[in-house]
Amino acid sequence: MKIIKLIIKNSLRHKLRTFLTILGISIAVIAFGLLRTVVTAWNAGVEASSANRLITRQAVSFIFSLPYSYREKILKIPGVTNITYANWFQGVYIDKNQFFARMAVDANTFFDVYPEFLLSKKELDDFKKERTACVIGSDIAKTYKLKIGDVMTIEGDIFPGRWDFVIRGIYKPRDKTTDATGMYFHWDYLNERMEKEFPGRANQVGWYVVQIKDPAQAAEISQKIDALFKNSTAETKTESERAFQQGFLAATSAIVTAMNVISFVIIGIIMLVLGNTMIMSARERTREYAVMKTLGFERRHLTGLIMGESLLISFIGAGIGLFLTFPLVEGFAMVIPKGFFPIFRLEPITVIFACSAAVFIGLVASVPPIQRALKTNIVDGFRFVG
């Protein structure tokens, strides 16, 4: 108990310096938590990928469409259990700052292939019956205060015109990594208008989502699908859903990597801040340590005093930082457009990293002052002035 009292008293001897050190550690932990949250949010789509889903897109680029006629051919390949398709619609809802996924999908199969979107039977049946119906995610409904029966009006950009959709379902995410910020409506409704207004764009889909029986056959089935349309006017590229998501992230991989590296550089900065504080404290107490040695304090006692002080400051700073990080992340989640980061939350792994870093930094920062205290003999300690 006496050692603990000494540790606390030593920590509070220079209150301003200790306060500034704790403040610096807290700010660094907050920055670490926010950066790591952005990185995990960026990769959330990859983590949510299903092993039994393949994505078939145009081989040249994702922005080019595929013929609707490919559907039946793909469905006949052994190992394929179901297939659905979608078109990226986009458009403007309220204003251009409101971003979330808006897609035309096959109403009959989409929610079968994506079972993680939880929708009641009544809502699904109502959606299928009505041509202009749509289904939205629970996060979108909450953000825009929408309910079943409301009309969402979207001004088309990729597909020009005014589009009115009646909300017939609000899906809930099955897992914490499931995106609850999507809006889905009938591809048939889109295709009918294209046939009337832009015939050349009719009977085209953006990509196919192929559900397979055995994930181990993903590569084999992908090759068979692409072989079907080789040398055609619209060749395909088929890959696992995870690989497809990673392909999207590849364009921003440098940014994500930089943020990841910076988040861990912050740990080094915390170490330098705390290490500097501990070295200054040890220097000031050189004569005190000499007195302690004279009174019979052993090496383990001095080690415990210095290491305990370092760990105490590190824990307090990290604790305050983590305590503030939770509301800050929630605040950012409210401000950031829902569709930009569908899942933006402080993950347990980030908290574990921060806590582990606090222990590691506290231990490492105490090493130089411990070595100094133990190596300085009693006579030199009494002579020290500074």
* pLDDT one digit per residue (tens) for the chain, 386 residues: 577 777 777 777 788 888 888 888 898 888 888 888 887 777 666 666 788 899 999 998 878 899 999 999 999 999 999 999 999 998 999 888 888 889 999 999 999 999 999 999 999 999 999 999 999 999 899 989 999 999 999 998 889 999 999 999 999 998 877 888 899 999 999 999 998 888 888 899 999 999 999 999 999 999 999 999 998 889 999 998 888 877 766 666 667 777 778 877 887 888 788 888 887 777 777 777 777 778 777 788 788 888 888 888 889 998 999 999 998 888 877 766 655 566 777 888 888 888 888 888 888 888 888 888 778 777 776 666 65
Whether residue 187 is found in the same domain as residue 320: no
- 105 bridge partner residues: 86, 186
- 185 bridge partner residues: 104, 134
- Decide if 50 is inside a domain: no
Domain end, chosen from 185, 202, 234, is at: 234
Whether residue 283 is found in the same domain as residue 338: yes
pTM of the model: 0.71
> Which pair of structure tokens corresponds to residue 218?
């993903």
- Decide if 244 is inside a domain: no
Place of tokens 């006579």: 379
How confident is the model at residue 61, as a pLDDT?
83
Whether residue 225 is found in the same domain as residue 103: yes
3-state secondary structure of 171: strand
- Decide if 189 is inside a domain: yes
Helices (H), 66-201: 70-75, 110-113, 121-129, 138-143, 187-197
Domain end, chosen from 234, 269, 299, is at: 234
How confident is the model at residue 236, as a pLDDT?
94
Whether residue 224 is found in the same domain as residue 265: no
Whether residue 68 is found in the same domain as residue 196: yes
Number of domains forming the structure of the chain:
2
Whether residue 226 is found in the same domain as residue 317: no
Query: What letter represents residue 344's amino acid?
Result: F
- Decide if 212 is inside a domain: yes
How confident is the model at residue 89, as a pLDDT?
92
Q: How many other C-beta atoms lie within 10 A of the C-beta of residue 171?
A: 25
* DSSP at 217: G
- 184 bridge partner residues: 103, 135
In angstroms, the CA 130 to CA 111 distance is 16
Query: What letter represents residue 192's amino acid?
Result: E
* Listed residue (159, 42, 49, 168) closest to 102, CA to CA: 159
Instruction: Mark 291-310 as b/e (b = at least 16 C-beta within 10 Å).
Output: ebbeeeeeeebbbbbbbbbb
In angstroms, the CA 271 to CA 372 distance is 18
- Decide if 91 is inside a domain: yes
In angstroms, the CA 209 to CA 112 distance is 11
- Decide if 281 is inside a domain: yes
- Decide if 37 is inside a domain: yes
Whether residue 87 is found in the same domain as residue 229: yes
Whether residue 212 is found in the same domain as residue 66: yes
- Decide if 241 is inside a domain: no
Whether residue 129 is found in the same domain as residue 263: no
Range(s) of the domain holding residue 359? 2-44+254-383
All residues at 6 or more sequence positions from 122 whose CB lies less than 8 Å from its CB, including other chains: none
Whether residue 40 is found in the same domain as residue 102: no
Whether residue 263 is found in the same domain as residue 376: yes
Whether residue 134 is found in the same domain as residue 193: yes
How confident is the model at residue 373, as a pLDDT?
78
Segment (H or E) for 174 = none
Domain end, chosen from 234, 269, 297, is at: 234
Strands 133-137, 183-186: pairing is: antiparallel
